[in-house]
Structure 1
Amino acid sequence: MTDLLAALLLGIIEGITEFLPISSTGHLLIAERWLGHRSDLFNISIQAGAILAVVVIYRQRLWDLAMAFAGREASAEHSPSHMAMTVAQARDYAFKLAAAFGVTAVLGVVVKKLGFELPDHVTPIAWALVLGAFWMIAAEHFAAKRAAAIGERTVITWTVAILVGIAQVVAGVFPGTSRSGATIFIALLAGTTSRAAATEFTFLVGIPTMFAATAYELLHVLGNGGAVHEDWTALAVAFVASAITAFIAVKWLLHYIQSHRFTVFAIYRFFLGCALLLLVPAGS
């Protein structure tokens, strides 16, 4: 297999798995055992490619939030509750996005300074996939009970914003957890009973998070001279593949969650995790 084809496949895997609650990092770490190990810059950059797809999908929503600071009201069409947001509401939402990102950034730097590195074995990823499956089913069950009791809540509270920021770091520390899965379900448990509202907030928080992570890693690579060893052509191929497939995956997911729960993803995680534990008992 050529290097460009391997990069293309990794980009496709990233694009499909980044926003589905099945763990993109876990899938990439597993795929790299057959397609070749890649640099941290490569892996983070193709995640940024997937995030670019979200920017395109939510471009009007992002514009509305930006215009709120100029005194213009957000449009009804792009609000998670399908109701027009006032300038004050849009600003409040934007501040909560900033707070979630700020928590992630601070804790992410702390984790980086502590020298955390992704695991070299499949076993912890497999366990994270299995345990995450039960976490997803339990979280959505309790969220559904709360929704039945108090009705659908689309409001993002400050508690939800802070917890989403923490969940992003936890997902980064434990590959297989899934950033989207951890953040969506923590939002559902913390009081936002609407799947659509929880998903939108966590996807929007992912935009500055992943772009900042890419910029951080790029500066690090440029600073230590690692850029000369990077295969920029392969990275570009994977970046584009990731962006295109993520666009399709997110569009599908946003439509799917309107009438379906996340159960199918939990089942997939469970069987994939069990298969890895059985087929790779030594974790190699």
Structure 2
Amino acid sequence: MSDLIRVILLGIIEGITEFLPISSTGHLLIAEKLGLGMRSDLFNVGIQAGAILAVTLIYWRRLWQLLTQWRDQANRDYLAKLAVAFLITAVLGFIAVKLNFKLPDTVTPIAWALVIGGFWMLGAEAVAARQPDRREVTWTVAVLVGIAQMLAGIFPGTSRSAATIFAALLAGTSNRAAATEFAFLVGIPTMYAATGYELLKVLKNGGAAHEDWSALIVGFVVSAVVAFAAVKWLLGYIRTHRFTSFAIYRIALGIALLLWLPTGG
């Protein structure tokens, strides 16, 4: 398999899995085990940036509305809740980094995170289904989404989108579209900040000197295009469907990983 095909496949995997609630970390690890090879930290940052750009473009009208019509009370409250969720993630994430508290990116913890997260999603869907349809994002939702983002960052395989969407659903935003929108909008500054931080680390360590920039550009573009299509599809899908199929997929994938590589190698 040529290196270009490997780069394209990695971009496709990142684009599909970054914002679907199925864990991009888990799928990229599987790709590595299947022979697509490990890439540089800068490459991984680059393809993630492509996915973030895609979701930014999808929500640009909503973002523009919030920023240009901030004098509107509803928009101002929403922006404040986004800011609170982001700050909670940033502060707790900074503390976790300083304490070096993060599980290793190995098969066993990721597999268990997939399985546990899948059952958690099924339970959250059942709880949300019994609640009246509520689109309101409360302060409780904002706080819990911020905490959920941080936890997803230190527990590989959890899935940032799954953690935040279902935190919102359980905390009272029972409308799936509203919960997903808030989770994704919080994710935009969070992931830009995380990507920028990782990029600075790579550049500081001299990782850019030997980077294959053509591969990085191809991966970035592929990830952006695929992520755009994946998120557009997801937003249409959840209007009439629950997240149950994603939960079942996570459980099946996690069990398969535990059986395939029981030692976590």
- Band of TM-score, shorter chain: over 0.9
**Residue 178 of structure 1, aligned match among 159, 166, 175:** 159
Unpaired segments ≥5 residues, structure 1: 72-86
d(CA) in 1 for partners of 2:194 and 2:81? 19
- CA drift at 1:45: 2.6
2:60 is aligned to 59
| 1:193-227 Cα distance to aligned partner (Å, 9 max, x none) | 10000000001111111111111111122222221
| 1:253-284 Cα distance to aligned partner (Å, 9 max, x none) | 11100010000001111111111111111211
Q: 1:234 to 1:129 in 2, by over 3 A?
A: same
Q: How many residues end up aligned between the 2 structures?
A: 264
**Residue 213 of structure 2, aligned match among 226, 232, 255:** 232
Contact map agreement 2:85 2:143 (CA 8 A) in 1: yes
The reply to whether residue 168 of structure 1 matches residue 149 of structure 2 is: yes
- CA drift at 1:55: 1.0
d(CA) in 1 for partners of 2:11 and 2:256? 23
Contact map agreement 2:42 2:208 (CA 8 A) in 1: no
Contact map agreement 1:10 1:31 (CA 8 A) in 2: yes
Q: Give the residue type in structure 2 aligned to 1:135.
A: W
2:187 is aligned to 206
What TM-score do you get using the length of structure 1 for normalisation? 0.89
Spell out the pairing of 1:5-84 with structure 2 (5 A cutoff).
Answer: 5-33=5-33, 34-69=35-70, 71=71
Identity %: 69
| 1:17-37 Cα distance to aligned partner (Å, 9 max, x none) | 111110111111221232111
d(CA) in 1 for partners of 2:194 and 2:64? 23
**Residue 222 of structure 1, aligned match among 161, 183, 203:** 203
1:80 is aligned to none
Moved over 3 A (4+): none
The reply to whether residue 101 of structure 1 matches residue 86 of structure 2 is: yes
1:134 is aligned to 119
- CA drift at 1:119: 1.8
Contact map agreement 1:188 1:194 (CA 8 A) in 2: yes
Unpaired segments ≥5 residues, structure 2: none
2:73 is aligned to 88
| 1:152-206 Cα distance to aligned partner (Å, 9 max, x none) | 1111111111111111111111111111001000100001110000000001111
Q: 1:45 to 1:116 in 2, by over 3 A?
A: farther
CA RMSD of aligned residues (A): 1.4
What TM-score do you get using the length of structure 2 for normalisation? 0.95
d(CA) in 1 for partners of 2:66 and 2:188? 14
